[in-house]
Amino acid sequence: MRDVTSNRKIEHVRICLEKEVESSYTGLEDVMLIHNAIPEVDFNEINTTVNFFGKKLSIPFLIASMTGGHPETKEINRNLAIAVEEAKIGMGVGSQRAAIENEDVVDTFTIVREYAPKAFLYANIGLPQILKYGVEYAEKAIEMIDADAIAIHLNFLQEVIQPEGDVKAKGCFNALKEICDEIKIPVIAKETGAGISRDVAIKLKEAGVDAIDVGGKGGTSWSGVEVYRAKDVVSKNVGIDFWDWGIPTAFCIAECFDVLPTIATGGLRSGLDLAKAIALGAEIGSAALPFLKAAVESSEKVKEKIDYFTKGFKVAMFLTECKEVEMLRKIPLFVKGEFKEWLNFRKIEIDKFSRCR
């Protein structure tokens, strides 16, 4: 079992690097920040820092959970950690199941804290594993990287598509509630590409989670990834059918932001995307795939990609006259298209997006 899990991890990495795995439409395409032609702010005085679970981030951004659990992933996590520490942001690690099952690959995760001693790091384990093995699994993951928080990932779309997937979801809520009751650090409920609706967000709050990572549609499709791994025609075709399944990221933010602190993940590919997510009500944003491709090359390439997000985010703040991140939540937004249709369908007022508006 432990070799199967480890091999699956490197297989996922190779597919994400070599194949087209993204789904379409995040909803952010239908959001426009309104240009201010006379911004009364000095670009050099703009403050992009935020505090998140007790850690100061240079911008409201994390590198999302990505990899670990196979010897070939160690260098990737090292490069990510070096860049994150230098940039003063944070990151999550990939699912730690492989390292819990096999001590030989623990160093593919511990290297992250070694090279990012001060950064905000979150551990990561799947709810299916919590269902099977209980709180002890989460505690091992936390201890492994001296985590500041733990993400419990909700990846049932991927599980039901992959041939070796765990589809026994009965008892999820109670398992998650037990984690929240027992674990002493913040617990983040993290979807992995299919999004979180308001109804589910309310249930997550009832379970006791501290934040939601919406993991909306528009970024990496894990159904799509599993299409490349499928060995039979039926599984491959079902995976294709569900490639674009889920709730787009912007829709999720609008649904969840006023229920719990919200992390916007799912197709963010620029600092402008990040600014839109914050303007919609997210606390912070995160992305994985663009940083995976950079991390295969070097920590310098990862830092370059972080700088790209940072500069774009700051430019968006400048052109909307926002000296502080919180001010993004007060600016007017223009919303159109499918996102506007969704808001009307769900009876969500545009002015509701911000707690400060």
What does pLDDT average to over the chain?
94
Q: What gap in Å lies between CA 117 and CA 112, rounded to an integer?
A: 8
| pLDDT of residue 314 exceeding 50 | yes
Rounded percentage of the chain residues whose pLDDT exceeds 70: 97
Predicted structure pTM score: 0.95
φ, ψ for residue 58 (rounded to 5)? Answer: -70, -30
Q: What gap in Å lies between CA 291 and CA 299, rounded to an integer?
A: 10
The model's pLDDT over 165-219, given as tens digits with 9 standing for 90+, comes to 888 899 999 999 999 999 999 999 999 999 999 999 999 999 999 999 999 999 9
H helices within 41-102, ranges in order?
A: 74-87, 97-101
| pLDDT of residue 351 exceeding 80 | no
Q: What pLDDT was estimated at residue 163?
A: 82
| pLDDT of residue 276 exceeding 80 | yes
Between the CA of residue 179 and those of 64, 99, 152, 183, what are the distances in Å?
21, 20, 9, 6
Residue 173, judged by CB atoms within 10 A of its CB (0-12, 13-18, 19+), counts as middle
Q: Provide the pLDDT confidence category of residue 7 given band limits of 50, 70 and 90.
A: confident
Domain extents in the chain: 2-353
Q: For residues 270-290, give the mean pLDDT.
A: 97
H helices within 22-105, ranges in order?
A: 74-87, 97-101
Q: What pLDDT was estimated at residue 4?
A: 64
Q: Are 87 and 56 in contact (CB under 8 A)?
A: no
Q: What gap in Å lies between CA 5 and CA 249, rounded to an integer?
A: 29
The CATH code belonging to domain 2-353 is 3.20.20.70
Q: For residues 10-25, give the mean pLDDT.
A: 94
**Under DSSP, is residue 338 helix (H, G, I), strand (E, B) or coil?**
helix
What are the E-state strand segments in the chain?
31-33, 50-52, 55-57, 61-63, 90-92, 120-126, 149-154, 187-191, 211-213, 262-265, 284-287, 333-335
Q: For residues 47-54, give the mean pLDDT.
A: 97
CA nearest neighbour of 328 among 276, 263, 252: 276
Least confident piece of the model among 4-13, 36-45, 118-127, 329-338: 4-13
Q: Provide the pLDDT confidence category of residue 9 given band limits of 50, 70 and 90.
A: confident
Q: Cα(first)–Cα(last) distance of the chain, in Å?
A: 51
Q: What gap in Å lies between CA 343 and CA 251, rounded to an integer?
A: 8
Residue 349, judged by CB atoms within 10 A of its CB (0-12, 13-18, 19+), counts as exposed
Q: For residues 234-244, give the mean pLDDT.
A: 96
Q: Provide the pLDDT confidence category of residue 352 given band limits of 50, 70 and 90.
A: low
Q: What pLDDT was estimated at residue 353?
A: 58
Q: What pLDDT was estimated at residue 354?
A: 45
**Under DSSP, is residue 41 helix (H, G, I), strand (E, B) or coil?**
coil
Ordered DSSP codes for 290-327:
HHHHHHTT-HHHHHHHHHHHHHHHHHHHHHTT-SBGGG
Q: What gap in Å lies between CA 150 and CA 92, rounded to an integer?
A: 9
Q: What pLDDT was estimated at residue 3?
A: 65
Q: For residues 151-167, give the mean pLDDT.
A: 91
| pLDDT of residue 227 exceeding 90 | yes
